Structure 1
Amino acid sequence: MSTFIRPPPIDPSQSAIENTLELTQLSDIDPDLFTNRRPLWHPPGARGIYGGAAIAQTLSAAQKTVEPQFTVHSMHCYFVLAGNSEIPIIYHVERVRSGKSFATRTVQARQRGKVIFTTTISFVRQNSAGDKVLKHAVEMPDVPGPIEGKDDLDYGRASTGPFQSQRIEILNNDSPHPHTKKTRQWIKARGTISPAGGHEAHLAALAYMSDSYFIGTVARVHKLWRYAAVRKSKTKSSIDEDVLKKLLAMDDEDLKRVKFLHQHELERIRKFKNGESDKPKEPKQEIGMMVSLDHTIYFHDPRGFRADEWMFTEMETPWSGDGRGLVFQKLFSRDGRLIATCVQEGVVRLRQDTETAKPKL
């Protein structure tokens, strides 16, 4: 059972992302307990549920426990265990502090009594800084705008996700220095977020989308193959391998229409298909494990944007090492205002050659 209560019919007055993130308040047990109203998404090849769902739903739960004049300005999250999409999640909000200018909440997401995700969220009262304030913000880079009707997340699946994405070519992609590259995309929630959702719905939607392709930036700037090669072995096949098998079955024209692949990935699949040698002198490195550890969002203009309008995101990674990677992300409204800054660290481990390398205990 993936929810405690049978999900109600989809509300047509709400956007897809609002329906996805709906919570049920367990008032009869505790007014500070909430649970997911609908089943959560388990991305293909991932160890657990999409992390953005936990980020967004903990924020939604916390927002329900503060006065309406308070707005989130930061949240600091830790992914503790992989979430199981077949089990309901319980969100427990603790009201740490409710001051005149700031309020603090912690939220734990639990499954089967174990914490799978935890966050501390800080809220600020609107206009508490007074009339005189310091202001500055980085400018949005000059990039091609989004193309209406184009969606890189739609690649022939039976259903589409609650938000749209359009990738832009990686900046400095030919540089030998990964830290100088920047991955970029346009994102927005599908449809129109309902007026009833208020600014809280737009903030939860932004939080949900902020986890899209985040730690994967490390793999992309290193141009690492992110789909496990199809191996005739006794090892358990991953869903990624199933995806690759479907891609290998396509002809070249169909492959060109698969929008979520970068050019170097398309070229490698084509060489696999045609039996061409693509082996460098040194074996090509592959990602063996990639999973988020923590996620921070600083909201700069929490009531001044719409998540159902195009937002531009730019990601860069200043460092990777010791099996981890760090990524920074800036989110801008379409008119160029910086609306959020995010930071994520994650496990980024290379696939090890079991013939020559064994893990150290």
Structure 2
Amino acid sequence: MTDNMTKRVTLLDPPPRDDSKALIENVLDLTPVVDLGPDVFTNTRALWHPPGARGIYGGAAIAQSLSAAMRTVPADFAVHSMHCYFVLAGDSEIPILYHVERVRDGRSFVTRTVQARQRGRPIFTTTLSFSRVGSGGEKTINHAVPKPDVSLPDDAEPGTVRALSNAGGGPFESKKAGIVNRHSPNPEDKKVRRVVRARGHISEEGGYQAHLSALAYVTDSYFIGTVSRVHDIPRFSSPRELQKLLKALKNPSDLDDEDIAKALQELKEEEAAELRRRLEGALNDATSGKAKENQKEVGMMVSLDHSIYFHNPRAFRADEWMLIEMESPWAGEGRGLAIQKIWSKDGLLIATCTQEGVVRLKQEKPPISKI
């Protein structure tokens, strides 16, 4: 096998982008690999390697695994839970194969596992459960956390004046919506909010499955970063560091100049106060030698596992504004836990997510040897 083949980004040459579909549908498109089996799929197009990450954006593996599993489930079943583990960093320069196993087909519930592999090794694995629509009966228990009183952007509906928005930008639009208890001394009291939607108009052909896959894709955005954010610890120590990481991207296909400029602007806005505080603290502590001692920087941040509970899988559109609220109830032992709630434009709680990850700070001293 030649070097060109070993570094092939996709198993087959990708087709031209389908402009009748939203950008996220093109990004997440799968191709069946019938030569390997009836339930094996591969990414049709190249996947994004985010700045500072070890590998591909985890949301892509989550969403494409969900999409692959949904292709093996009867139409009257809808996903209600998905439990994922990130095993190895995915390489954006190598195709991914998604192997679906039909674990169980019951009258009310269906179970699937999906393993994403590169070079024969698992990089991601997930177990999904689907329930038959309406199987709960006429009488059911109902309650849900109400959507916070946050106004969503008031602009055009998907597919109207934004018809040309697929021509540029990443697959999602995202805006900050504030931080609850921003100045609390307790990180566990803070809640980080954003509004988000898929660019363009998700096609009728994609159906509700395309909206679910798009939702799954976005659940990994900013998620484990909540742990450092509620501690006011910058993910990147300076805009220069982010620029350096952006230049090192293997496959920046999902980012354009507008996205990069926006990321840098948000970095300046969110971290300017923290960098100023650290500088002032360093000046105050210079005489006592405490400057380095008080300084905290993220040394490693990697997602370990990710769960999604889908509450209303057919009652929302991912190309309409959704409100996301993230918090971190716990961090310790070099790990952190984040919880995320997502509401639809109409105020329905459509998903609750959890994620645990490695969150390690840069250390001034090497660990003490146990020997």
Q: TM-score, normalised by structure 2?
A: 0.84
Task: Decide whether aligned partners of structure 1 residues 323 and 172 sit closer, same or farther in structure 2, where only a CA change above 3 A counts.
Answer: same
Is residue 276 of structure 2 the alignment partner of residue 265 of structure 1?
A: no
Partner amino acid for 1:74? S
The Cα shift of 1:168 comes to 1.5
- Do the aligned residues in 1 keep the contact of 2:304 with 2:355 (CA within 8 Å)? yes
Q: CA separation in 2, counterparts of 1:32 and 1:210?
A: 25
Any stretches of 5+ residues in structure 2 without a counterpart?
1-7, 157-166, 248-260
Report what 1:332 is aligned to.
Answer: 343
Residue aligned with 1:19, SS:
helix
Cα-to-partner distance string for 1:245-266 (whole Å, 9 max, x where unaligned): xxxxxxxxxx999542264513
The alpha-carbon deviation at position 31 of structure 1 amounts to 0.8
Secondary structure of 1:92's match? Answer: strand
Q: 1:24 to 1:45 in 2, by over 3 A?
A: same
1:184 corresponds to which residue?
Answer: 193
Aligned residues: 332
Matches within 5 A, 1:11-22: 11-22=18-29
Separation in 2 of the partners of 1:114 and 1:259?
A: 38
Report Cα offsets for 1:55-75 as digits up to 9, x if no partner. Answer: 000000000001111110000
2:64 to 46, 57, 61: 57
1:296 Cα deviation after fit = 0.3
CA offset at residue 335 of structure 1?
Answer: 1.8
Alignment partner of 1:291 out of 298, 302, 309: 302
Contact kept? 1:23, 1:37, Cα under 8 Å: yes
- Aligned-partner SS, 2:206: helix
**Counterpart position of 1:34:** 41
Secondary structure of the 1:342 match is strand
Q: Is the 8 A contact 2:112 2:129 kept in 1?
A: yes
CA deviation vs aligned residue, 1:23-65 (integer Å, no higher than 9, x gap): 0001232011000000000001111000000000000000000
Q: 1:331 to 1:111 in 2, by over 3 A?
A: same
- State the identity %: 58
1:207 counterpart residue number: 216
5 Å-filtered alignment, 1:27-176, equals 27-146=34-153, 148=155, 160-176=169-185
Contact 2:52–2:245 (Cα < 8 Å) also in 1: no
Secondary structure at 1:10's aligned position in 2? coil
Question: What is the SS of the residue equivalent to 2:26?
Answer: helix
Change (3 A) 1:69 1:114: same
Cα contact 1:191–1:308 (8 A) shared by 2: yes
Cα deviations by residue, 1:184-217 (Å, 9 ceiling, x for unpaired): 0001100000000011000000000011100000
Give the CA deviation at 1:357.
2.8
Q: What TM-score, normalized to structure 1?
A: 0.86
- Counterpart-to-counterpart distance in 1, 2:230 and 2:268: 12
Amino acid aligned to 1:131: E
C-alpha separation in 1, matches of 2:112 and 2:245: 41
1:344 lines up with 2:349 in the alignment: no
Does the residue aligned with 1:60 lie in a helix, a strand or coil? helix
Provide closer, same or farther for how the CA distance between residues 144 and 271 of structure 1 changes in structure 2, counting only shifts above 3 A: same
1-side partners of 2:147 and 2:362: how far apart? 36
Which structure shows the bigger proportion of residues in helix conformation? Answer: 2
For 2:22, the aligned partner's letter is S
2:257 match:
none
Q: Which amino acid in structure 2 is aligned with residue 327 of structure 1?
A: A
User: Distance in 2 between the 1:160 and 1:256 partners?
Assistant: 10
Secondary structure of the 1:260 match is: helix
Any idea what SS the aligned residue of 2:212 has?
helix
From the superposition, tell whether residues 169 and 131 of structure 1 become closer, same or farther in structure 2 (CA, over 3 Å).
same
- Offset from partner CA, 1:245-304 (integer Å, 9 cap, x none): xxxxxxxxxx999542264513456799xxx75626343100000010000000000001
Partner Cα separation in structure 2 for residue 241 and residue 257 of structure 1: 13
Give the Å deviation of 1:239. 5.7
C-alpha contact 2:233 2:274 (8 A) present in aligned 1 = no
Partners of 2:30 and 2:44 within 8 A in 1: yes
Q: Distance in 1 between matches of 2:343 and 2:233?
A: 28
SS of aligned partner of 2:266 = coil
Deviation sequence 1:221-253 (CA, Å, 0-9, x none): 00002114699xxxxxx7664569xxxxxxxxx
Shift of 1:110: 0.3
Please give the secondary structure, in 2, of the residue aligned with 1:219. helix
What is the rounded CA distance, in whole Å, between the counterparts of 1:230 and 1:170 in structure 2?
Answer: 22
Name the CA distance, whole Å, in 2 between partners of 1:183 and 1:64: 34
Question: What is the RMSD computed on CA atoms of the aligned residues?
Answer: 2.4
Distance 1:291 1:257, change over 3 A: closer
Amino acid at match of 1:80: V
Letter in 2 for 1:106: T
Question: Is the contact between residue 45 and residue 240 of structure 1 (CA under 8 Å) also seen in structure 2?
Answer: no
Shift of 1:76: 0.2
CA distance in 1 between counterparts of 2:319 and 2:191 reads: 24
